[in-house]
Amino acid sequence: MEKELILKYVLQNAINYNGKANPGAIIGKVLQEKPNLKPKIKEISKEINKIVQDINKLNIEEQRTQLLSLDPKLLEKKEVKKKELPELNIKNLVMRFEPSPSGALHIGHAYVLGLIHLVCKKNNGKLIVRIGDTNPGNIVKEAYDLIKEDANWLTNNSIDSFPIQSERLEIYYKYAKKVLELGKAYICTCDPEDARSKINSGKACPCRNLEAKEQLERWKLMFSKYKPGDAVLRIKTDIEHKNPAMRDWPAFRISEKEHVKTKNKFRVWPLMNFAVTIDDHEMKVNVTIRAKEHRDNEKRQKYLYDYFKWESPKCLYVGRINFSDMKVSASLAKRMIKEKRRTDWDDIRLPFLPALRKRGYQPNALLKFAEEIGLSEADKVTNKKEFFKSINSFNRDLVDETSDRYFLILEPYKKLEIKNAPKKNIQLDLYPGVRLGGRKFYTESEFYFEEKFKKDQVYRLMHLYNIKNREFLSEEQDERLSAKMIHWLPTKNAIEIEVLQENNKITKGLAEESIKKVKKGDIIQAERFAFLKCLDNNKFIYLHK
Ligand SMILES: [Zn+2]
């Protein structure tokens, strides 16, 4: 029975890794399916090693045939899940991701940036993260650094460069002049309401037909005389376009709001469609992936590409991920941080990358999530629980093998004496069957327990012995006792610890002495509780079960 259970996971692991199974990766799966095997972990590990040796001698086809007869679902699952990323067949591929610095990157960004990174990597391309900061009124100063750190983290340092648009204004100005000279743009000084209703009814305002020379005069005035709202540079499209939203789009406006980086040096700001077109051309971007609501923007930008006789990039689109019960919004998070309802962008409760990083999520878990959704235009509705269930399972696969095991007891706990307790010196494994030993315990009769003991119920102190009615019962593990497995700590040498929980509250507790070995940044598994990341000496943050 257990042999079969082990065998199917060994086969699955072997098939997924070119025919060579890794013993360390199997034990977790086996215990996940049958947690009651935990006490027999030594025997199970031995068995796994034996089976792995046998299975690794087979070729993948033989392994496949065996798994097919044993549990075909394990075979299918992996294959159906794997959506192929596109082969682009483009020489000198350059892609970009353009966040605005209105906050840190969130889990929605992680999907899009993650996907762009994966597609780019598969096609040997270069990836640029361009900071779109041409709206001075919507910038969070610390976002520049946060975006850089998080993008580097998420992509395992694969970003080629981080150009910042507010440092490129002179370039946009140069092209604004060019398009005015071409007669393909105009500076509208009409009352904004009038201009809008004219455009909506498909009629040109008087500014549209002025000569290029006059337009260039007006362009100069945008830098001096005109006040914000007085003048807008528009790109000519088709004034009678059947979709009014396509008619003559705005490309520059005046704003006197102070900019975080350039202060009051500039007052003429390009709007997104203009800056994006110029940058994509100048940076040789040839494939874009963005949210499908940008489809109309692609059409708007096409006019500019045509006027300059430039080749436009190939555009691919993805759908949105909507969370039914969670607001993923930079402006909301910013407000909550300001009102001190959240500590900062890395507050454990926020769905932003600084928080996920701090908790111990691995970039590859998020990349796996992006890969699993793939390049799909379908909108997805999910909720917090589903989302975390999926990234937690990816993350568990990544951290399990490297996380040492420790005993932890959290408040409320009790100090209790076990009658007739034998004194014991035992040594437990840091990782069962793999990293042996490393955790020494000396037990007498006093322990800390979280458990509320029931009368006449047999309990097994994990890896130690059985008790009943707070009295020593027997040493050996015995299924007939139907003992409830509990964890424990000897009262001597227990270390005080703190765990920052998901609700941002700190729970105090105690841990075994060997937890002193854990260093800042290490991820551990607190047995029977959760994976935790060490934030500092004896301070931990909750990661996941
Ligand atoms: Zn006008």
Summarised one tens digit per residue, pLDDT across range 346-357 is 999 999 999 999
- 531: pLDDT strictly greater than 50: yes
**CA of residue 210 to ligand 1 center, whole Å:** 10
Which residues 6+ apart lie within 8 Å of 501 measured at CB?
Answer: 348, 507, 542
**CA of residue 231 to ligand 1 center, whole Å:** 8
**CA of residue 276 to ligand 1 center, whole Å:** 24
Angle between helices 212-222 and 169-181 (to 10 degrees): 160
**CA of residue 196 to ligand 1 center, whole Å:** 9
**CA of residue 259 to ligand 1 center, whole Å:** 28
Q: How high is the pLDDT of residue 79?
A: 46
**CA of residue 279 to ligand 1 center, whole Å:** 27
The one-character DSSP state at 263 is B
Question: What residues pack around ion ligand 1 (CB closer than 5 A)?
Answer: 188, 190, 205, 207
Confidence band of 416 (pLDDT split at 50, 70, 90): very high
**CA of residue 307 to ligand 1 center, whole Å:** 21
Q: How high is the pLDDT of residue 80?
A: 46
Helix (H) or strand (E) holding 249: strand 249-254
What pLDDT, in 10s, does the model give residues 418-458? Answer: 999 999 999 999 998 889 999 999 999 999 999 999 999 99
- Give start and end residues of each alpha helix (H) in 56-205: 60-70, 72-81, 107-122, 143-154, 169-181, 192-200
**CA of residue 32 to ligand 1 center, whole Å:** 68
Q: Which residue has the tokens 């086969």?
A: 11
Confidence band of 471 (pLDDT split at 50, 70, 90): very high
Q: Residue 510 in contact with residue 494, Cβ under 8 Å?
A: yes
Mean pLDDT score across all residues of the chain: 94
- Give start and end residues of each alpha helix (H) in 309-439: 330-338, 353-359, 363-373, 384-399
Q: How high is the pLDDT of residue 297?
A: 97
Confidence band of 1 (pLDDT split at 50, 70, 90): low
**CA of residue 291 to ligand 1 center, whole Å:** 32
What is the identity of the amino acid at 148?
A: K
**CA of residue 252 to ligand 1 center, whole Å:** 14
537: Cα separation from own chain's centroid: 26
The one-character DSSP state at 419 is B
Confidence band of 77 (pLDDT split at 50, 70, 90): low
**CA dist., res. 123 & res. 91, Å (int):** 9
Q: How high is the pLDDT of residue 82?
A: 56
**CA of residue 219 to ligand 1 center, whole Å:** 13
**CA of residue 184 to ligand 1 center, whole Å:** 14
**CA of residue 312 to ligand 1 center, whole Å:** 29
- 20: pLDDT strictly greater than 90: no
**CA of residue 205 to ligand 1 center, whole Å:** 5
Which residues 6+ apart lie within 8 Å of 233 measured at CB?
Answer: 176, 180, 185, 186, 187, 188, 219, 222, 250, 251, 252, 253
**CA of residue 216 to ligand 1 center, whole Å:** 15
Confidence band of 239 (pLDDT split at 50, 70, 90): very high
**CA dist., res. 370 & res. 321, Å (int):** 11
**CA of residue 189 to ligand 1 center, whole Å:** 5
Number of residues that this document lists for the chain:
545
**CA dist., res. 235 & res. 79, Å (int):** 48
What pLDDT, in 10s, does the model give residues 39-71? Answer: 888 888 889 999 999 999 888 888 888 888 888
Q: Residue 500 in contact with residue 539, Cβ under 8 Å?
A: yes
**CA dist., res. 42 & res. 494, Å (int):** 26
**CA dist., res. 247 & res. 463, Å (int):** 74
